[in-house]
Structure 1
Amino acid sequence: MRARLLVFPIKGRNWCFIRSIDRSTSQSQSSQTPFTFKQLWQQISSSSHKPTAANVELCIDFAANKMNNAWSGLEKAPEGSFKNQIHSLGLKLLSRVRPSEIFLKSIPKQLSGVEVVYPASLNARLVRRRLRHIAMRGSIIHKNYFYGSVTLLPVTSAFAVLPLPNVPFFWILFRTYSHWRACKGSEKLLELVSDSSKRLNSPETDQEKEATENDSEKENHTTPDSPLVMQASEELQRLIGDGNEVNKCKLTEICKVFDLNTMDVLKYQQHLK
């Protein structure tokens, strides 16, 4: 399983990192996720030979699927109803989620490689370095936030005694799941991006190191089976233009051409304000 990632500057040193939409993969994953407790138990009991971590992840996916269904129900609630108000509150909370977290959550553990598309004017080593940085930083930050969210779950569960939906508990539960997914995505991305640069960590002269980097870049361009394939795009460069900032109109056009989630891309621009 491979994924295409787009990396390009939004404004100055602020870059956008996003994965192209893969509808076939999302549909296959949703079909494998159990919908009822009976199906969940059958899958766990029939796969006793699987490691415990795989069954735990199956339970997490089951819970996430239940949360998504509940969120869809709130979204379809009549205008002005209590459920609609809860949905509006949820949208306000979700708008605070950083776009880098959404990007890292989109990196599943099943990935065997990534194709990184970037503007032709950027240097491949700089793009790869920025990817390693966001992956390494994300693995540390989201692991800490994950443990912090877990400690808050017992506290927010106390609100269940109130005759109202326990919004704080479900929000913290969602944040716990989100940070866990982002942490796992960071670790997987760091593994894939670092594979092609392991030779760069060995002691060697500057000339040998530069030659190794050049050979590695050529290999990334020409070997489709490599874990990391760097692809400079003239089309992306044309859409971005030569300015220092990419406006909303250009971002929308980039989303159409490269099949991106427009809302996720625009979040990068919104977080600059």
Structure 2
Amino acid sequence: MRARLLVFPIKGRNWCFIRSIDRSTSESQSSQSPTTFKQLWKKVSSSSPKATAANVELCVDFVANKMNKAWSGLEKAPPGSFKNKIHGVGLSLLSRVKPSEIFLKSIPKQLTGVEVVFPSSLNARLVRRRLRHIAMRGSIVHKNYFYGSVTLLPVTSAFAVLPLPNVPFFWILFRTYSHWRALKGSEKLLQLVSDSSKIHHENDSEEKSSDSSDPPLVMEASEELERLVGDGDDVSKCRLKDICKVFDLETSDVLKYQQQKNY
């Protein structure tokens, strides 16, 4: 399983790190996940005792799918209803999630390689260094936030005695899951970009590329991305939307980089 990553300057010292949308992979993964507690128990009980980490991941994915379905239900609630108001609060909270966290969450553990696309004017070593930096920083930051969120779960669960939806508990539960996914994504990305002996550049000779048929890291300098980014220090919103269309990116995630402070 491979992924295409885009890296380019977006505003001053701010760089955008994002993965291209891969709908086929996400759909196949969701179809393999258990949808009921009975299916989950069957998979966990039938696995070997040594597959503890895989079982934990399976349970986490099961809870995440349930949370996504509940969120979809809130999204479809009639305007002005209590559920619709809760959905509005959730959107406000989600808008504070950093785009770097969204990027790291998009790196699954099944990934065997990445193709990094960047403007042709940038140095490949600099791009790889920035990728390693965001991966190393993410592994530290999200590990600390993950443990912090876990400690808050028992506290927020006490709000269950109130005759209202326990929004604080579900928010902390979501943040726990989100930080855990970002942590695993950081570790996987760091592993893929750290092996300097297996890097392939698209402009290398055919003889050299044949020596590494399936390298974990492919660096591709793109003239088209260079043209779309332009020479300015601040990429306009219009040009960002064009980049999203050409390279199949999530527009809302890219625009978040323009709104945050220098990373």
Q: Which TM class, normalised by the smaller chain length?
A: over 0.9
Structure 2 equivalent of residue 16 of structure 1: 16
Alpha-carbon spacing, 1:224–1:269, altered in 2? closer, same or farther (3 Å) = farther
Conserved 8 A contact 1:74-1:86 = yes
The normalised TM-score by structure 2 is: 0.94
Greater Cα shift, 36-45 or 128-137: 36-45
Q: Which residue of the partner structure matches residue 173 of structure 1?
A: 173
- Quote the residue 1:234 is aligned against: 223
For residues 257 and 201 of structure 2, what CA distance do their matches in structure 1 show?
33
- What letter is aligned with 1:59? C
Question: How far apart, in 2, do the equivalents of 1:85 and 1:197 lie?
Answer: 53
Change (3 A) 1:215 1:78: closer
> Which structure 2 segments of 5+ residues have no match?
none
Query: How far does residue 215 in structure 1 lie from its aligned partner after superposition?
Result: 9.2
- 1:254 aligned to 2:243? yes
SS at match of 1:231: strand
For 2:216 and 2:201, the matched residues in 1 are separated by 15
Q: CA deviation at 1:121?
A: 0.3
Higher relative contact order (CA closer than 8 Å, sequence separation 6+) = 2
Task: Report how far residue 197 of structure 1 moved.
Answer: 5.4
Residue type matched to 1:194 in 2? S
**Count of residue correspondences:** 259
Q: Offset at 1:217?
A: 8.8
Alpha-carbon distance between aligned partners in 2 of 1:38 and 1:26, rounded to the nearest angstrom: 23
What corresponds to 1:194 in structure 2?
Answer: 194
The question of whether the paired residues in 1 share the 8 Å contact of 2:200 and 2:217 is answered with no
Instruction: Provide the rounded CA distance (Å) in 1 between the counterparts of 2:258 and 2:197.
Output: 31
Aligned to 2:150: 150
Does structure 2 conserve the Cα–Cα contact (< 8 Å) formed by 1:196 and 1:227? no
Query: How many Å separate the matches in 2 of 1:187 and 1:215?
Result: 23
Q: CA RMSD in A?
A: 2.1
Pairing of 1:20-99 with structure 2 (within 5 A): 20-48=20-48, 51-99=51-99
Q: Report the CA distance shift for 1:197/1:130 in structure 2 as closer, same or farther (over 3 A).
A: farther
Residue in 2 that maps onto 1:204? none
C-alpha distance after superposition, 1:11-61 (max 9, x if no partner): 121100000000110011000111100111111122235511101100000
C-alpha separation between the residues in 2 aligned to 1:249 and 1:266?
Answer: 10
